[in-house]
Chains A and B, each alone.
Chain A
Amino acid sequence: KNQVEQSPQSLIILEGKNCTLQCNYTVSPFSNLRWYKQDTGRGPVSLTIMTFSENTKSNGRYTATLDADTKQSSLHITASQLSDSASYICVVSAYGNNRLAFGKGNQVVVIP
């Protein structure tokens, strides 16, 4: 079973609307959680990183939340733009090593 589960697998939203992506993980001991944006045919680009003590982190129109007790995170996209069309990957790292656990990504398509 994958240590990082993301939902929904894919979604289509209208330009200008908001959306929220979910990430549940089982990685332990927890070190940090990152949200990456991956455009088609490109490498992942980091959006936010949160450690155990952080509940929310923003990067422009992207706001990530973390509940370390329930091992859940969300990424909220505000006022979506066409350029937000991409896969959003939740990545969790365990304390003490460089190994990363990747989710399969949330595929977001923004339509005009």
Chain B
Amino acid sequence: GAVVSQHPSRVICKSGTSVKIECRSLDFQATTMFWYRQFPKQSLMLMATSNEGSKATYEQGVEKDKFLINHASLTLSTLTVTSAHPEDSSFYICSAVPYGLAGRRGETQYFGPGTRLLVL
């Protein structure tokens, strides 16, 4: 159980275009999802916390107008990279916390398989 999927697994786009990445919890509901970015040989860096039915909370230094997050249902959160630039090329990973456990002790985040974004 507790499977999180991401789509697409990899995407190549031209500079200036927008790219949408989906994160789905397949067998559980998630009121809270997290979006991370990971550069080669680096830690996962939290970008934002996505809350179902409300605005996302962004980490310092992350542009909310560039990285649009929508958490429209208990099983789906989307990250849209707008006007993508080559420096946005990275590995984007989402995680989800099962409904009812959000805010409790910080564990039980289930990670998706990641999306490799390459902006040319």
Residues of A with Cβ closer than 8 Å to B? 2, 4, 31-32, 34, 36, 41-45, 49, 89, 93-100, 102-105, 107
Residues of B with Cβ closer than 8 Å to A? 4, 6, 32, 34, 41-46, 49, 91, 93, 97, 102-103, 105-107, 109, 111-114, 116
Also in contact, A42 and B113, with CB within 8 A (given A32-B107, A49-B107, A95-B105):
yes
Task: Please give, as numbers and ranges, the residues of chain B lying within 8 Å of A4 by CB-CB distance.
Answer: 43
Within 8 Å by CB of A45, from B34, B91, B107, B111, lies B111
Cβ contacts A to B, 14 pairs, < 8 Å: A2-B43, A32-B107, A36-B111, A41-B91, A42-B113, A98-B97, A98-B109, A99-B46, A99-B106, A100-B109, A102-B43, A102-B44, A104-B41, A104-B42
Compute the total of residue contacts between A and B using a CB distance below 8 Å: 63
Q: Would you call A43 and B114 a contact (CB within 8 A)?
A: yes
Q: What residue of chain A has the Cβ atom nearest to residue B105's Cβ?
A: A31
Bound together, the chains give a CA A98 to CA B49 distance in angstroms of 10
Q: Name the 3 nearest CB pairs between A and B, nearest first.
A: A93-B106, A43-B111, A102-B43
Given contacts A93-B105, A96-B105, 15 further A-B contacts (CB under 8 A): A31-B107, A42-B114, A43-B6, A43-B112, A44-B44, A45-B111, A89-B44, A93-B107, A97-B103, A97-B106, A98-B97, A98-B109, A102-B43, A104-B41, A104-B42
Shortest distance between the CB of A80 and any CB in chain B (Å): 21
Also in contact, A100 and B106, with CB within 8 A (given A43-B111, A105-B43):
yes
Q: Would you call B111 and A98 a contact (CB within 8 A)?
A: no
Q: What residue of chain B has the Cβ atom nearest to residue A98's Cβ?
A: B106
Bound together, the chains give a CA A49 to CA B44 distance in angstroms of 18
Q: What residue of chain B has the Cβ atom nearest to residue A97's Cβ?
A: B106
Shortest distance between the CB of A89 and any CB in chain B (Å): 7
Q: What residue of chain A has the Cβ atom nearest to residue B116's Cβ?
A: A41
